[in-house]
Structures are given as structure tokens and as C-alpha cells.
């Protein structure tokens, strides 16, 4: 069966070579990201996912802050590689910072004690879904992206810079921009080891 959705799923790849040659403007990209997150399911429809969407100089500033934080902990001889990687993310059009609002998670735990242990897990799963929805929406729009995890080293500096609420926990970063290179090789495991189908 042909499925345009499956074709999009296949098109979504990790793009590290980002540039600024996009025809989409900031408003269009913002709208895509907001809609993708708005329509992502969440446990109890609690909508715990939050996002900070940074463009241009603001995105560059995020990666600069991350660089400064990493410089404190990455061995000097390894830092040049790290810095070059971050410069690559900063070379794009923008970065989405994905958060989960812990005050909502805590409220749910108090309200529904029976599921208390599950809410943090469901929040993480919801965040992953939101990240994937945004990644797919960007893919369809011809925008390249990757998924990064510089939390928690960058959390505090970022919180201060953009006045992010204390209850928002940073979970992932998605730098995006134009596709300026190919994708890495990708291997797939055997279906036989992955799926059990009966009946």
C-alpha cells in the first residue's frame, strides 16, 4: 500500500549540515512548530510540552551559551571538535528548545495518586512525540533538522537568558535550517528480530 505519510517518515533524517537558504519565513516556521506541538497527544490531555523557538541571533546565542557551559567541563583537547559541532547548529535558521512543564506533572501526580509514578514517564513520552511531530512537519516543509541533548548543562544559562519559567524542564534541542549536505548511512535491523505478528 502506498502511503504518503510513510514516505515522509522515510524522508525525515538527521541533518547536521544546516544553512539559511530557506524560502519559508519565520512566521510560517513558527506556525508549523506550534501546530505540530498543539496537535501532539499527551497523557490525560495534560499538554505538558512547552517550546522556546529561537531564530537568527537568538539561536546563535543559545549555541554560544551552550559552548561557554561546555568549555567549563569538556577537556581542552576535545573542545575544538565540540565547538565546531555547535557552530554547525548555529549556522542554521533557528533552534527549538523542547521543555516539559513539571508543575503540571506534579499537579497530576497529586490529583491522580494511583498513576503518580507514571506521569513523569508519560511526560517524557509526550515530549518525544512533540519532538517527532515537529521534526516531521519541518521535513515536509523541506527544512532540515537534528535532535540534540545539551541539557542539563545549558539549562540554567538558557533559563536566565530567555526568562524561561522555573517549572519548565529542558528535554531536547532541535536546530533547523536549509539542507546543505547529505545524510549519514543508516542501517535497519531485521524485521524478524523486531516484530512478532500472530493470527
Chain residues in the site for ligand FMN (CB under 6 A):
13-14, 146-149, 183, 186
Residue pair 127/149 in contact by the 8 Å Cβ criterion? no
> CB of 146: closest distance to ligand FMN in angstroms?
5
Is the CB of 16 or the CB of 119 nearer to ligand FMN?
16
> CB of 148: closest distance to ligand FMN in angstroms?
5
Instruction: Using alpha carbons, select from 152, 175, 150, 135 the residue that is nearest to residue 54.
Output: 175
Complete DSSP assignment for 170-194: EEEEEEEEEE-S---------GGGT
Give the DSSP H or E segment for 125: helix 118-140
Is the CB of 163 or the CB of 193 nearer to ligand FMN?
193
Is the CB of 145 or the CB of 164 nearer to ligand FMN?
145
> CB of 53: closest distance to ligand FMN in angstroms?
19
Instruction: Using alpha carbons, select from 93, 103, 82 the residue that is nearest to residue 154.
Output: 82
Is the CB of 116 or the CB of 147 nearer to ligand FMN?
147
Give the DSSP H or E segment for 168: strand 168-179
> CB of 186: closest distance to ligand FMN in angstroms?
5
Amino acid at each position: 500500500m502506498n502511503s504518503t505519510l510513510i514516505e515522509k517518515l522515510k524522508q525525515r533524517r538527521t541533518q547536521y549540515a544546516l544553512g539559511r537558504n530557506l524560502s519559508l519565513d519565520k512566521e510560517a516556521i513558527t506556525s508549523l512548530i506550534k501546530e505540530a506541538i498543539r496537535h501532539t497527544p499527551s497523557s490525560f490531555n495534560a499538554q505538558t510540552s512547552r517550546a522556546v523557538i529561537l531564530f537568527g541571533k537568538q539561536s546563535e546565542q543559545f549555541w554560544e551559551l551552550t559552548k561557554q557551559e561546555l568549555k567549563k567541563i569538556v577537556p581542552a583537547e576535545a573542545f575544538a571538535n565540540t565547538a565546531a559541532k555547535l557552530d554547525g547548529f548555529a549556522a542554521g535558521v533557528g533552534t527549538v528548545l523542547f521543555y516539559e512543564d513539571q508543575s503540571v506533572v506534579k499537579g497530576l501526580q497529586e490529583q491522580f495518586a494511583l498513576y503518580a509514578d507514571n506521569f513523569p514517564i508519560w511526560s517524557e513520552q509526550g515530549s518525544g512525540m512533540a519532538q517527532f511531530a515537529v521534526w516531521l512537519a519541518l521535513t515536509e516543509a523541506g527544512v532540515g533538522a537534528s535532535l540534540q541533548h545539551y541539557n542539563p548543562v545549558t539549562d540554567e544559562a538558557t533559563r536566565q537568558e530567555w526568562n524561561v519559567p522555573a517549572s519548565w524542564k529542558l528535554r531536547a534541542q532541535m536546530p533547523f535550517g536549509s539542507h546543505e549536505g547529505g545524510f549519514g548511512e543508516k542501517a535497519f535491523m531485521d524485521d524478524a528480530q523486531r516484530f512478532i505478528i500472530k493470527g
